[in-house]
Amino acid sequence: MMWGQYSYGLLVVLIAAAIAFIALAMETDDLHRFLLLDLIEIPSLAVIALLGTDLAEALVLPGLTVGIAEQLALSQIYCVKERISANPVHGLNIEVIAKADAPLIISIFLVVYGLILSGFTGGGVAGLGLVFFFMSRGYKEDLNLLEMASGISWAVWIFAFFVFMFLPQYWYVALMCAAVGIVLKVTVKMSLVGTMWGKGDE
């Protein structure tokens, strides 16, 4: 068989994966194991990227998301396991920011701009605006509202999927639903980061 570009690429990636796996097998500290896993995810994404088609781009995204999601859950389990409950990160405890109108204006600008952009980056920009706002104000309300918004965006996304599958002639509606769903989802996820941090200054 011929050694093509694909095989050379795979060789490099597999060597990287082997080094990472051996490191994980030798590591004994839990936190270090956890950090090494973050490293191991990268060769897995590289194997997918080696496909080199548009399909690869679409497969990297779920792969990445699954890795990040499991890390999120595992880090929380780690905190419970090690009884890490103190929250050393405080909000932006600057008196001027907490009172002035500027954070509000900047946040509104970022959210509006994010909604215009839509899609993944739009969600990121809008989320950044909300994170900044919550951090500067030391937001203390319960998370129910945000979680509900996250659930609704998920439902919108699923609805878009069914429109695509069973009513393909309404693809435009489905595309808009999916785009709005993803904006909501990314925004909510990022603003949750802001509120979790904001809780520190109680």
Contact 174, 164 (CB under 8 A): yes
- Smallest distance from other proteins to CB 135, Å: 18
- Smallest distance from other proteins to CB 105, Å: 22
The residue among 137 and 185 lying less far from other proteins, judged by its C-beta, is 185
- Smallest distance from other proteins to CB 107, Å: 20
The residue among 91 and 103 lying less far from other proteins, judged by its C-beta, is 91
| Terminal Cα distance for the chain, rounded | 66
Take residue 109 and report the two structure tokens written for it: 């600008």
The residue among 53 and 101 lying less far from other proteins, judged by its C-beta, is 53
- Smallest distance from other proteins to CB 128, Å: 13
Could you give the residue ranges of the DSSP H alpha helices within the chain? Answer: 5-26, 30-49, 54-81, 95-99, 102-117, 119-137, 144-166, 171-198
Contact 93, 201 (CB under 8 A): yes
Specify burial of residue 54 (Cβ count, 10 A radius: 0-12, 13-18, 19+).
Answer: exposed
- Smallest distance from other proteins to CB 141, Å: 14
The residue among 51 and 98 lying less far from other proteins, judged by its C-beta, is 51
The residue among 31 and 102 lying less far from other proteins, judged by its C-beta, is 31
Q: Could you tell me how many residues make up the chain? A: 202
The rounded distance, in Å, linking the Cα atoms of 157 and 120 is 13
